[in-house]
Structure formats: structure tokens, C-alpha cells
Amino acid sequence: MTARQPQAEYREGRGFIAEVIRTSRRKSADIRVEDGAVSVVVPTNTTTERIDQLLAAKRRWIKEKIALHREQAPPSTRRFVSGEAFSYLGRNYRLKVETGNFTPVRLLNGRLLVTVPSGSQQHMVRNALVRWYKRQAEHKLIEKVTRFAPQVGVEPTGVGIKTFRSRWGSCTAKGKLEFNWRIMMAPNRMVDYVVIHELCHLIRHDHSPEFWREIGRVMPEYQESREWLRANAATMNF
């Protein structure tokens, strides 16, 4: 498994930013709003003019979906303004919000830097951060799965990144591992534990004593990570 990350492409949609995902596997466009973030999946050769037309035609539906997500999201004390700290692999980085044409989040000189249009709302900054965490999760978790799978003695069929409300990962019946992007806020060793935990589910699909013995074989001190995640789960959210 490799972690190739294509160049990101975005379009401004008057009140939201849409990530453009080009693929040769589609013949028509598909607009999605997931976790409050907008993406448009289009055939590879779709023009930017056509993408803008699609977003304009669905603008009302998109805004309604964004508003619904904000209503249903748990209360947050986050303001998504310059100076706020966000954890990445257990280390805090200060957010810096600049004004201009949209530029996705970058980790630069110890800061999480994002550029958004003038008058942008908090949700636009939040969505930019969510996208950044998801991209980091995809890269790092594939690396970790590739590293730990031989130690566990399994071969997963794939790795995916999702938004889970109350768990850090899952293992599908077809052998694909899915991870909550929020785990990237935890220290590195806790991320290792979650990866090993899900890999061990490819051997035991339960939480029997045999399952925990499999984890202990690869990570003898796993109990410390398990307890840390239980105690700190509520802090890894925005």
C-alpha cells in the first residue's frame, strides 16, 4: 500500500469551499456534503466552468446540508480564529487565519496556516481543518498499517478514513480497516495502538481474551494507550 496524495483542487461557492476530486472512474458528477465539508467528484476532463455551474445549480441544497450539520454537531467552544491551539499527533499547533483566495491548511513554521475569503464564517475554517486532518490521517495511517500488518500477521484489503462519533476504527467483513480521522489529535503511540487493535480484528472479530492476547503480543503496554484514549476522547473533537 502506498500513500500517493494528488494535488488538491478547490472552487469557491459563495459561502462554502468545494474540494474537486477528479477520477476516471466516473462519467457524471456527484456533489457530497460530509461532516459539513463539500466535495464534487467529476470525470477527469471536466472543465472548471462546468464545475462552477454544477455548484451554482446545487447551491441551495449544499447550504441546507451545511446548516443541518451545524445544527446537529455537538456544542463546541472552538472559535476557529488565529491563536487557537489544535493538537496533531499529541503536539499543539497554533492556528493562523489569513484573508485572501482560499488556500488549504498547511503546517508551516509550527503553525496551522489557512487562507479564506474575506467575511468567511467559522465553519469554512473548520472544514479546512477537517480536510487537513483527513489527509494527514490517510497518509500516516496507511504508513502505520503497512508497518504493523506483518507484525500482526495479517493483510488488510484496504484502509479508509471516516468520521465516527464514538469509536476510533472498525474492521469490515471484507478485511478493510476504517479509521476515525480524529485519532490524529492523539499522541503517536495512541495511534499505533488503534492501528494494531484494528489489525488484530482481522484475526479475532471480537473482544475476547484471545483478541487482547493478540494485541499484547505486538504491543505489551497497550493497556496504557487504551486508558489514555478513554480518558481523553472528549478532548479530541471540534
* Domain chopping of the chain, boundaries: 9-72, 85-131, 133-235
The predicted model scores a pTM of 0.86
End-to-end CA distance of the chain: give it in Å, rounded: 30
Query: From residue 221, how far is each of 133, 188, 193 by CA, in Å?
Result: 27, 14, 9
Mean pLDDT, residues 175-184 taken together: 97
* Burial class (CB within 10 angstroms; exposed 0-12, middle 13-18, buried 19+) of 200: buried
Contact (CB, 8 A) for 141 and 133: no
Lowest mean pLDDT among 3-17, 35-49, 93-107, 130-144: 3-17
| Strands 17-23, 37-43: pairing kind | parallel
Per-residue confidence (pLDDT) for residue 7, from 0 to 100:
62
**CB 77 within 8 Å of CB 64:** no
- Cβ atoms 17, 10 nearer than 8 A: yes
- Structure confidence by residue, pLDDT tens digits, 78-126: 899 999 999 999 999 999 999 998 999 999 999 999 999 887 778 889 9
Residue carrying C-alpha cell 499527533:
89
CATH superfamily entry for domain 133-235: Metalloproteases ("zincins"), catalytic domain (3.30.2010.10)
- Structure confidence at residue 2 (pLDDT): 42
Residue 110's SS3 state is coil
Three cell numbers written together for 33: 456534503
pLDDT tens for each residue of 157-176: 999 999 888 899 999 989 99
Residues 6+ apart with CB under 8 A from 180: 162, 163, 164, 167, 168, 169
Task: Give the tens place of pLDDT for each residue, 23-79.
Answer: 998 899 999 998 888 999 999 999 999 999 999 999 999 999 988 888 887 777 889
| 204 SS3 class | coil
Residues 6+ apart with CB under 8 A from 98: 113, 114, 115, 116
Instruction: DSSP letter for 100, please.
Output: S
Asked if pLDDT for residue 1 goes beyond 60, the answer is: no
